[in-house]
Structure 1
Amino acid sequence: MIEIIPVDTPSLGDRSYLGTDGEVAFVVDPQRDIDRMLRLAERRGVEIRHVFETHVHNDYVTGGPALAAATGADYHVNAADPVAFDRCPIEDGDVVEIGPRTRLRAVATPGHTFTHLSYVLESPDRPPAVFTGGSLLHGTTGRPDLLGREHTGTLARAQYASANRLARELPPETDVLPTHGFGSFCSATQSEVTESTIGLERRVNPALTRGEDEYVRSLLAGLDAYPAYYAHMPTLNRAGADAPDLSAPRRANAAELRRRLRAGEWVVDLRSRTAFAAGHLAGVLNFGLDGNFAVYLGWLIPWGTPLTLLGETPGDIAEAQRELARIGIDRPAAAATGGPADWAGDDKPASMPTATFAELATVRRHRPVVVLDVRRDAEWRESHVPGAVHIPLHELPSRLHEVPDGEVWTHCASGYRASIAASLLAAAGREGDVVAVHDDYDPHAMIARFAATGGSGLARHPL
C-alpha cells in the first residue's frame, strides 16, 4: 500500500511530501532543512530514491539538491529550467518508475511559472493522486504574477488551462496534493481546506467553475503584495543550495549588542509581543517566533544586512535559524539568550504600552492620536478605522517619515504586525510616542466603537 506523508512548514504555508511503498520512497518539493525528510525515511525504514520538483520555487530555498546528494536519489527537475546543477531532466509525459507497482507521470501545468510540472501518482494499490505544486490548489490556484507584471496575464490564462487540463484528464477520486495554499503568499487566495480531490475541485475551484475571462479578471483583481525576499529565491534555487549550517551562532554580550545597534545592523527580539512590550533592549526589533516570523523578517530586512537574534533559550535561536535558512538567510552574525536585563547591561531596558481597540476608541474621544493601520491593501479596502493612516507594514521602513508627529497607535489584524511596526517606530526615535494595539480586528465590533470618534463607523469599500 502506498503511503503519502505530508511534511508541513506552517510558517511559510507550504507542504512537502514523502511517498513510499514500504521499501523505497520519493519526495516532492522538499524544504531546505532536509533533516526532517531524512528522519522520516529512517523512521519508516525506507530508502529515498527519487526527488521531484514541481517548479523553481519563489517562496523558499529548495532542499532538493542537498537531499539528492545526501541519499544518492535521482533529482527530477524540468528539462527547460536553466539550473546550474546536475539533474535528471523531465518533461511533459515522462514517466518515472518508483517501484514495481508505482510510477509518477509528469504533466505540464504552466501558470505559476512557465515551466511548472505536476506529477500524477499511478498505482494499483491506491486511488490516483496528483502533486500539483503551485498549480491547482485547494479551492484556488497559484498566483501568476511572481515572474513580473509583463508575464502576469499570459500566466493567468495558462494557469486556467492547466487547472482544466488536470480536471479533464484525471478521475474525480484523484487526491489533490499541492505544495502551496496553506498560508503561502504563492497562493492566489487563502483557504482553510487541508485535503481535496479532483471531483471536489470541479465543484468549488474558480478555475473550474468560471469562464476563462471571468476567472482571470477575478484572479488579477485579488492579487496583493508578496514578500520582497521572493525576488532572491529563484536565483538561489537555480544555482542549487547546500544543506544549511544550523550550528549555534557566536554569542554576543551586551557591549557587542550595543555596538551592532549603533552600526545600523538588525538586532531582533524573538519573544512574544507581550514579553517585548513588558521590557526589551532599546533599539531592537520585535519579530516573534509565535507568528509568521521568517515571512515578515525576510520581507522587511534589507537583503544582506547582518542579523543578530535574541531569544529566551538556545532552542529559540535554533528555531529561528531553521526558519531563516529556509528563505536563504544563513548564519546569523551573533545571538544572545536570556532576557532584557542580560542584553541591556548597564542600560535600562525599554518598555512599550499596549492597548485594545476598545481603549483606542475611548482615547480618541478625549484626545487626538494617530491611528496607524499596517495591514495590506486588500485588508484596508475591505474596511478600516475612519481617520486612520494606512501604511502597509512591508512599506513602513521606507515610509517612516510619513507617519505624522504625535502619539501613534499601531494596529493590524491580530497584534503581531502592530508590534513589529511599533518596534520599527521606536527604533527610529519615536519611543515614548508609540502604543501597540494587541487585539483582533473585528469589523462588526468596530462599528459601534468608532461611531462617535470619526464618523459613522468603519469606512468600507467594495472589492
Structure 2
Amino acid sequence: MIEIVAVGTPSLGDRSYLVTDGEVAFVVDPQRDVDRMLRLAERRGVEIRDVFETHVHNDYVTGGPALAAATGADYHVNAADPVAFDHRPVEDGDVIEAGAMRLRALATPGHTFTHLSYALEVPGRPPAVFTGGSLLYGATGRPDLLGPEHTGTLVRAQYASAHRLARELPPETEVYPTHGFGSFCSSTQSEEATESTIGLESKTNPVLTRGEEEYAESLLAGLDAYPAYYAHMAALNLAGPEAPDLSPPHRAGAAELRRRLRDGEWVVDLRSRTAFAAGHLPGALNFGLDGSFAVYLGWLIPWGTPVTLLGETPEDVAEAQRELVRIGVDRPAAAATGGPADWVCAGGEKPAALPTATFADLSAVRRERPVVVLDVRREAEWRESHVPGAVNIPLHDLPARLGEVPPGEVWAHCATGYRAAIAASLLSAAGREVVAVDDTYTPPPE
C-alpha cells in the first residue's frame, strides 16, 4: 500500500513529501532540516532510496544533498540545472522506479525555466503528481522570481505547463504541490485547501478555466513584493548546501548583548509581542516565534548581519535556529534565555516597555491630538483600503526608510498586529516615540 506523507513547514508555507510502498521510500523537495524526514523513514522502517527536486528553490535552502548523503539515496535534479554537486540528471520523460513505485518526469516550466513535475504511477491506485511550484491548489507558482526580463515568457510557460498536466493526466490524479500554503512563491494563496485532483483543478483553477491572456494579465496584476532573502536561495541551492549545524549557540551575558547592540548587530527577541511590549532589552527587535518569524527576519535583515537570539527557553532558541537554517542563516552569533531582567546590564539599566493600543484607541487619540499613523502593510493591501491620513511604508521597506517616517508620535499598525510589533521595535530602537496597534484592521466604511 502506497503512503504519501506531507511534511509541512507552515512558517514558510511549503510542503515536502515522503512516499513509501512499505519497504522503500522517496522524498520530494526536502527542507534543509532533514532530520524530520529521517525520523519519518525510521518510524516506518523504510529506506529512502531517491530524492527528487522539482526545481531550484527560491524560498528555502534545500535539504536534498544532505538527505542523499545521509541515506545514500540517488539525488535527482534536472539535467539542465548547473548544480555543483553529485546528482542523477533527469529530463522530461525519464522514468525512475523505486520499489513498487514508478515516477515519470514531466517538464513544467513557468515557476522556473527548468521546473519538473513527477507523476507517480502505481497499479491499483489513482495516479498522483508532485507539482512543486507549477500547478498549485487554486493557483500557480509565481513567474517573476528570475527577474522582470523573464516574467512574460515564464507566465505563458506556466499556463502551458498547467494545461499539459491537465491534458496528459487523468482527472482522478491527486495533486501534491510544494508551494501554495503561505509561501510567497505562490502567485496567490489557496483558500485553506488541503487536497485536490487534476479534475477539481480543471474546474476551479484560473490557469485552467481562463484563456491565456486573461490568466496572464490577472496573475501579473496581482503579484506583490516577495522576501529579499529569496535573492540568495538559488545560489545556495546550486552550490549544494550541507546539513545544518543545529547545536546550541554561544551563550551571551548582558554585557555582551549590550556590546553587540552597540556594534550594530541584530539582537532579536523571540517572545510574543505582548511579552515584548511589557518589557524588553532596550534596542532589541521583536520577531516573535508565534508568527512568520523567519520570513520577516530574512526579509528585513541586511544579509550577513550577525544575529543574537533571545528566548524564554533553550527550546525557543532551538526552534528559531531551525527556522533560520531553512533560509540560509546558519549560525546565530549568540543566544540568551530567560527574560528582560536577565538581559539588561547591572548598574541601573532597566527593561524598556512599548505602549500598545487598539484601533478604537487610535480613533480616540486622533480626536485629541495629531499623531503619525504608520501603515506597514504591503502596497496591495494599502490599495484595497487604508486609514485616512495614514502613511504607508511597507514593513520590508521600513529599515531603509526610517528617515521618511514623519516626526512626532508614531502609531504603527498592520492587519493583525504581528508586523506592527516588528515595526514598532525598529522605530523604538531608532529612538522614536511609538505605539504598536495590536488589533485586527477592519476597512473603514465607505
Q: Taking structure 2 as the reference length, what is the TM-score of the superposition?
A: 0.99
Displacement of 1:367: 1.1
Tell whether 2:205 aligns with 1:175.
no
DSSP 3-state at the match of 2:439: coil
Tell me what 2:105 maps to: 106
Tell me what 1:244 maps to: 244
* Cα displacement string for residues 157-179 of structure 1 (whole angstroms, at most 9, x for unaligned residues): 00000000001111111111000
Letter in 1 for 2:326: R
Tell me what 1:54 maps to: 54
Letter in 1 for 2:413: H
In structure 1, distance between residues paired with 2:124 and 2:297: 44
Q: Percent identity, aligned pairs only?
A: 83
Tell me what 2:117 maps to: 118
* Cα displacement string for residues 23-80 of structure 1 (whole angstroms, at most 9, x for unaligned residues): 0000000000000000000000000000000000000000000000000000000000
Contact 1:30 1:63 in 2 (8 A): yes
DSSP 3-state at the match of 1:228: coil
Displacement of 1:345: 2.4
Letter in 1 for 2:93: G
In structure 1, distance between residues paired with 2:344 and 2:98: 57
Letter in 2 for 1:414: T
2:399 aligned to which of 397, 400, 412: 397
Tell me what 1:417 maps to: 419
Displacement of 1:358: 1.0
In structure 2, distance between residues paired with 1:65 and 1:330: 16
Tell whether 2:304 aligns with 1:296.
no
In structure 1, distance between residues paired with 2:197 and 2:442: 33
Displacement of 1:399: 0.4
Tell me what 1:186 maps to: 185
Tell me what 1:145 maps to: 144
Tell me what 1:377 maps to: 379
Letter in 1 for 2:355: P
Structure 1 runs not aligned, ≥5 long:
448-456, 458-463
Tell me what 2:234 maps to: 234
Contact 1:12 1:292 in 2 (8 A): yes
* C-alpha RMSD over aligned residues: 0.6
Displacement of 1:312: 0.2
In structure 1, distance between residues paired with 2:4 and 2:360: 47
Displacement of 1:429: 1.2
In structure 2, distance between residues paired with 1:354 and 1:360: 10
In the TM superposition, 1:33-432 aligns within 5 A as 33-99=33-99, 101-191=100-190, 192-346=192-346, 347-430=349-432
* Cα displacement string for residues 137-191 of structure 1 (whole angstroms, at most 9, x for unaligned residues): 0000000000000000000000000000001111111111000000000000011
Tell me what 1:436 maps to: 436
In structure 2, distance between residues paired with 1:362 and 1:174: 56
Contact 1:280 1:351 in 2 (8 A): yes
Contact 1:267 1:309 in 2 (8 A): yes
Contact 1:2 1:125 in 2 (8 A): no
Letter in 1 for 2:361: E
Contact 1:129 1:177 in 2 (8 A): yes
Contact 2:24 2:49 in 1 (8 A): yes
Tell me what 2:17 maps to: 17
Structure 2 runs not aligned, ≥5 long:
none
In structure 1, distance between residues paired with 2:260 and 2:102: 54
